[in-house]
Amino acid sequence: MDIAANKNSKKVALLGSTGSIGTQSLEVCEKHGFEITALAANSSTELLEEQARKFNPEYVCIYREDKYRELTDRLSDTGIKVLCGMEGLCSIAAMEQNDIVLNSVVGMVGLLPTLTAIEAGKDVALANKETLVAGGELVMSAAKEKGVRIYPIDSEHSAIFQCLQGNKREQVSRILLTASGGPFFGYTYDQLRSVTKAQALKHPNWEMGSKITIDSATLMNKGLEFIEAKWLFDLDPSQIEIIVHRQSVIHSAVEYNDYSVIAQLGVPDMKIPIQYALLYPDRLECPTRRLSLTDYGTLTFAKPDIETFRCLGAAIEAIDRGGAYPCLVNSANEEAVRAFLNDEIEFIRIGEIVSSVLDNFGSSEIKDYSDVMKADSAAREYVRNAVSG
Ligand code: MN3
């Protein structure tokens, strides 16, 4: 380990350690000699055990309580303490010894641990989208009050964050949020009808978990990122333009008042934004490849088709309306994607269901966490009825 890496060493609690972001985060932590205070996973006991033996955290947590016994048995010869459930996630998020909490949990489950980390005054490296989509106002105001920094891990938000460095925030005119367009770019609404699960699970540029891969195919992912960008960077929705950029080389850009546009580029590898969030503001060698622009030759740009990809239109409409709408469309989407992955509905139904939420729910406010939970369960119940009905 070199001296520069040591200087940057941080104590990291990693929530969602067995997922795609989690395993890549561990690679980055290993490269830079970071200490892991705790690891948490949903249900993958075998990989969690392997990670625990390698990184030797003080705590591990398994979210699924029915897996607690198995994990305890697996780690019985170590001194590692085993926790479970939401309570376990939250106690890990709040631990005194953490310098930073990296939250890469999938889904709404991620919101409360983020709020708990902020409450405990811990900086958060955020990969969990639902945290800001469902609880944007709560999370950002709590972070401000506690003086906690939120470092985005998503490649687009990391790009925007990087493009903001050294410039005046109040002189930003717009954000250009790039989108790969997913596997069904250019499809008509009719063509989307015959899309299969296998096709939807195959993303052209990024290796990701199944939930986010489906979200990328419906473009809901970009809708969620649009909402996150609004909260992270304190923007009006009218200041965010989505641009389909098939090669995923430009990860997003910021336009300033003088119409200079500053972009961040790199190979499509999450380890770059993960490392920037953990090492900020330092830039050390990353375990990835160098970008060779001449290998690409051409970079292309197009407008997104929000009529065909209804989820995207619904997410933008939801944040325009505000209140509980972003939370409602997000939870509806989670439930619809689950139904799609369970072969209960066709791909095209995801967009129909998510956009129908806007017509079937009145406006309501989000004042605290319980309001988020209420909207969440209402939206899920709505989708379950739509799926079975
Ligand atoms: Mn992204």
Tokens of 78: 């170590």
Residue 132 CA to ligand 1 centre (angstroms): 14
Residue 271 CA to ligand 1 centre (angstroms): 13
Query: What integer pLDDT is reported at residue 208 of this predicted model?
Result: 76
Tokens of 199: 């096709």
Task: Please report which helix (H) or strand (E) contains residue 15, including its range.
Answer: strand 11-15
Strand partners, 243: 178
Q: Give the C-alpha separation, 252 to 63, whole Å.
A: 33
Strand partners, 61: 40, 83
Q: Give the C-alpha separation, 133 to 137, whole Å.
A: 9
Residue 77 CA to ligand 1 centre (angstroms): 39
Residue 83 CA to ligand 1 centre (angstroms): 30
Residue 330 CA to ligand 1 centre (angstroms): 16
Unique residue bearing structure tokens 């996630």: 89
Residue 82 CA to ligand 1 centre (angstroms): 32
Q: Give the C-alpha separation, 201 to 195, whole Å.
A: 10
Q: Beta strand 35-41 with 59-62: parallel, antiparallel or unpaired? A: parallel
Residue 257 CA to ligand 1 centre (angstroms): 26
> 69-98: string of b/e by CB count within 10 Å (b at 16+)?
ebbbebbeeeebebbbeeebbbbbbbbeeb
Residue 158 CA to ligand 1 centre (angstroms): 9
Nearest to 61 by CA among 35, 87, 36: 87
Residue 95 CA to ligand 1 centre (angstroms): 28
Kindly state the DSSP code that residue 363 receives in the 8-state scheme.
Answer: -
Residue 269 CA to ligand 1 centre (angstroms): 11
Local mean pLDDT, 10-residue blocks, the chain (389 residues) = 58 97 97 97 97 98 98 98 98 98 94 98 95 95 98 98 97 98 96 95 80 94 98 97 98 98 97 98 96 97 97 98 97 96 97 97 94 97 94
Residue 128 CA to ligand 1 centre (angstroms): 11
Residue 146 CA to ligand 1 centre (angstroms): 27
**Cα-Cα-Cα-Cα dihedral sign, residues 320, 328, 205, 165:** positive
Query: What integer pLDDT is reported at residue 157 of this predicted model?
Result: 98
Residue 60 CA to ligand 1 centre (angstroms): 27
Q: Strands of 108-202 (E only): list them.
A: 123-126, 150-152, 172-179
Query: What integer pLDDT is reported at residue 5 of this predicted model?
Result: 47
Is the CB of residue 325 less than 8 Å from the CB of residue 234? no
Residue 225 CA to ligand 1 centre (angstroms): 7
Q: Give the C-alpha separation, 193 to 152, whole Å.
A: 34
Tokens of 225: 């990122």
**SS3 call for 150:** strand
Residue 126 CA to ligand 1 centre (angstroms): 12
Residue 66 CA to ligand 1 centre (angstroms): 32
Residue 368 CA to ligand 1 centre (angstroms): 27
Is the CB of residue 153 less than 8 Å from the CB of residue 270? yes
**SS3 call for 169:** helix
CATH of domain 3-152: 3.40.50.720
Contacts of 172 (CB under 8 A, 6+ apart): 164, 233, 235, 239, 254, 255, 256, 257
Is the CB of residue 339 less than 8 Å from the CB of residue 387? yes
Half-sphere exposure of 165 (CA within 13 A, CB side): 13
Domain boundaries, the chain: 3-152, 157-388
Residue 177 CA to ligand 1 centre (angstroms): 9
Chain-centre distance for alpha carbon 370: 22
Q: Give the C-alpha separation, 81 to 68, whole Å.
A: 11
Query: What integer pLDDT is reported at residue 389 of this predicted model?
Result: 78
Query: What integer pLDDT is reported at residue 6 of this predicted model?
Result: 54
What is the total residue count of the chain?
A: 389
DSSP 45-106: HHHHHHHHHHH--SEEEESSGGGHHHHHHHTTTS--EEEEHHHHHHHHHT-TT-SEEEE---
Q: What are phi and psi of 261, to 5 degrees?
A: -115, 125
Query: What integer pLDDT is reported at residue 203 of this predicted model?
Result: 79
Q: Identify the CATH assignment for 157-388 out of 3.40.640.10, 2.40.50.100, 1.10.1740.10, 3.90.1010.10.
A: 1.10.1740.10
Residue 3 CA to ligand 1 centre (angstroms): 32
Residue 74 CA to ligand 1 centre (angstroms): 35
Query: How many CB atoms are located within 10 Å of the residue 374 CB?
Result: 14
